[in-house]
Chain A
């Protein structure tokens, strides 16, 4: 049985009592302790900055040319916090409850409550750093609503919230670099964890410009390396997002939690052809004001504007009157797929539904006309005013849509379709964010912790910053307090030598295959297997086939991949080959996990397990656990279960009707 080390006591006192009783490291000793932070997205940059401020010696790594470019930069819609500034009934408990329910009762109560507790401090910290959140005319912060909730608790900076939050964390990080507390390694990729006497003691990293391998000691190693949605090839993740750091840790003993829990986001720009390299999200915030519909008639080929109101099916509003267009993502995605599979899809591919702003433009236009005292404004004037409001709220998203599709979303409804977006699964961590390997931590999207089987919108940014700014500074001290006498290991320590050799050998092996197929072609094939058989809907037979196909793909990859160039130079194809090799292995584990979990919950939809209305049917009697997988060797894993105890919330069939 896995022990999550959740503190005893009532739910709302756990974190307070942990903080007041955990061990501390005094300032003089902090200076002697070295921390390796892999990744400088929201989780990594905030952790590195906060730990640098405390006086630890931090080394931070990212594979981009600057920490400011981590994938967090692309987050659009917003960040949640239980501030209740809108006086609409929000509270720490409600944010906690919404997150547990949204996650379909597959998250840990203790962690989620802590997340809700620290959420307010995140907003305070970001504002103090100069993050320019959207404000009202009175000068106070503005909020919007997001899916799966009935309050307005989402803080935002137009459609660039992730950018602004990351730039805040980045500037805090660069300040620590200037002060000498953090050393930053850009264009570096961590390729292994070094474990000595069962404890994480450093990493092997590759300088992506020179191709050289480097050894870096750390009293502790923090993996903040993001999610693995790119296992599907096409996703909304940045091109470089990968699983390598987490996967290496997994192969060194860290358990992988709930790998099959993937979030398919309902509102993305549909695939336009085989050349497609990635998919683009249209923020969930658009569902605040936009209405989603398809024609009532199958295979309707009319233009959207030619389909009269009474022939449109606003299927989310019809099926889920209480939440309407704001149902959680998993529900909205499946509903879109259901309509398209039944022949109601739109656009040339028929794999799309409409997201329509016409009503919102009119509604906002009328409000503006009212504010301006224009009692007799014409329809055209109202529309013009409304477009201005929509532009202020969502302008950059609308521009992005137009650049990609060549269509003007102010005039015609957007075409959208679900796409892979986020991975709730990740390295298993306990309450302290430590994996089962002592001294090895995972933060942000890289861990499995807080979102259960489905993440609510605007909660990933919250979690990344909670982990980095407010959780790890305490929990890491609790571990390091017992480690103050450990001297840094010399670089020629046998553990480093051995780990580096293993990495070098693998790179050598990859380069010497000299096969006939490109890395990209393997990645695409893996993505197709995953999307078809471990995507929005899964069944036992398909998953078994997928496992066999992936095993075959792996063989082929290791005998026929073609990587140009040399090892000791800047070689993006080699970087990619390293990552795709890991994705292939992860893909197999995801299918194994999906096969094992013979229930539907959140984003994991097993066709065998649905209610008569086609909603996800959980099986709490048999699956109310976190599946934590231990790597045992090629194609072999052992399942460990962390049983979830719900002390406060009573799990029930999720209903958004």
Chain B
């Protein structure tokens, strides 16, 4: 790979806290290496801001390898930036060229209030899981793991749904701020496994009820979520959730 350096203009959302109004600030960063990650580029800017006595930009991140789901950032109108199936922390600066302007905003959704600058509160996702994203099995109750064979294709499909990192990009991309992709991924993972069967109905009903309660919008099947999901969670999960929900609602009614 050829390396190069670049100068960039950044338009960054700054907001002191949840109570105050925010706005954009513009920054210039110089000599950014194409080998840096996007977050390392912000690290560089933050070090400069601190040196100048200014407040650095607050953003969420932890693993920096695309698995914890902590990083966010709405970059030039797209959650997690321009690369396909990618998280912000894995985005590298070779995606940009000298002179580019980059606009960086937090996730925007009523259910994800901004805490500061680019950090938002995603605890609504935890509460959706609390509503039913589990199998009720106490520790020590399990039978031998191989006593329950599971068809490989089902296990693989369950794993594909379980790959969701809970980042919230799907919500940020959706014009309705719907959390259907996230919720459907968990419902699908558990619905495909025999262990998940006993609670199938209540799970779908309760998780959807919680989703509504948190203020996430309805799904109108636009597919913006799937397009930005870093883990390739597919829309077919939403179809399955709808099926599960309808099936459950019918029997319960």
Q: Which residues of A contact B (CB under 8 A)?
A: 46, 49-50, 53, 64-69, 71, 73-74, 83, 85, 121, 123-130, 132-141, 157-158, 160, 162-164, 167, 170-172, 174-175, 177-178, 184, 186, 209, 238-240, 272-273, 275-278, 280, 400, 403-407, 469-470, 473, 518, 520-521, 562, 564-565, 569-570, 572-573
Contacts and interface: CB of A to CB of B under 8 A. Distances in A.
B142 A125 contact: yes
B142 A127 contact: yes
Contact of B144 (A69, A124, A272): A124
Interface stretch (B115-123, B170-178, B211-219, B235-243): B115-123
B67 A73 contact: yes
B246 interface: no
B115 to A, nearest CB: 6
B162 A167 contact: yes
Contacts, number: 218
A186 B119 CA distance: 14
B137 interface: yes
Given A53-B138, A130-B196, A170 B129 contact: yes
Output the residue of A124, A130, A518 with the most chain B CB within 10 A: A130
A64 B140 CA distance: 29
Contact of B55 (A64, A473, A565): A565
A126 B143 CA distance: 11
Interface in B95-153: 115-116, 119, 121-123, 125-126, 129-131, 133-146, 148-152
B135 A129 contact: yes
A139 B94 contact: no
Given A139-B151, A406-B1, A473-B139, A518 B51 contact: yes
B30 interface: no
Contacts of A65: 60, 70, 121-123
A564 B50 contact: yes
B54 A276 contact: no
Contacts of A67: 126
B189 interface: yes
Contact of A400 (B43, B65, B149): B65
10 contacts: A53-B138, A71-B68, A83-B145, A124-B143, A125-B140, A128-B142, A140-B146, A163-B67, A184-B126, A400-B90
Nearest to B117: A570
Contacts of B141: 128
A123 B145 contact: yes
Interface in B189-235: 189-190, 193, 195-196
Given A277-B43, A564-B50, A572-B58, 4 more contacts: A66-B166, A71-B63, A171-B134, A403-B83
B69 A69 contact: yes
B82 interface: no
The 5 closest A-B pairs by CB, nearest first: A139-B149, A171-B134, A128-B142, A406-B1, A124-B142
B134 A407 contact: no
A59 to B, nearest CB: 16
A278 B64 contact: yes
A467 to B, nearest CB: 12
B11 interface: no
A172 B33 CA distance: 43
B158 interface: yes
B66 to A, nearest CB: 7
Contacts of B121: 65
A276 B40 contact: yes
Interface centre among B36, B146, B166 (most CB of A within 10 A): B146
Contacts of B36: 273, 275
A469 B142 CA distance: 12
Interface in B27-76: 33, 35-37, 39-40, 43-44, 47, 49-51, 53-56, 58, 60-70
B159 interface: yes
Contacts of B129: 170-171, 174
Contact of A73 (B68, B136, B152): B68
Given A65-B122, A175-B130, A570-B119, A520 B47 contact: yes
Contacts of B142: 121, 124-125, 127-128
B163 interface: yes
A73 B92 CA distance: 22
B135 A130 contact: yes
Contacts of A157: 159, 162
A157 B94 CA distance: 31
B155 interface: yes
B26 interface: no
A403 B189 contact: no
